[in-house]
Amino acid sequence: MYVSGDTNTANIVINHTGQYPNSFSLAGINISISADELQELNKLIIYPTATTNSITIETGNRYKTIDYRIYNLTGQLVSEASNKSNQSTTVEVSHHAPGNYFIQVGNAKDYMMYKFCKD
């Protein structure tokens, strides 16, 4: 976690380390965030892991904009797109050949990689 800002405001960034702390203190101010609220802030869900038509990306409030790139198992980029929506995006994969793929979701500073199977 790090804090930046002037004396009137603060920007707090919590980096995910596998555990969700749910409270902390900042300059004598106690701040509590429920585990559910913190999970919503860090939310990135991609489903289903096996599909014939499409996959859904749910980002909650993690990103203002998202980019995604789909790679085949040899690392070749097979499709990519940018989406301004920060809640839920449906990605059509029906035109891809059956097989295993990786989808990279995020932005230039922060991204996650997931595997899915196109039946």
Structure tokens at 101: 């793929």
Structure tokens at 61: 């409030």
Nearest CA to 57 among 87, 37, 78?
87
- To the nearest whole number, what is the mean pLDDT of the chain? 76
Q: What is the pLDDT of residues 64-106, one digit of tens each?
A: 788 899 999 999 999 999 876 667 889 999 999 999 999 998 8
- Total domains in the chain come to 2
Tokens 């289903």 locate to: 48
For position 86, which CATH number holds?
A: 2.60.40.3080
> Which amino acid does the sequence have at 86?
N
Phi, psi of 39 (to 5 degrees): -65, -40
Domain that holds residue 90: 43-118
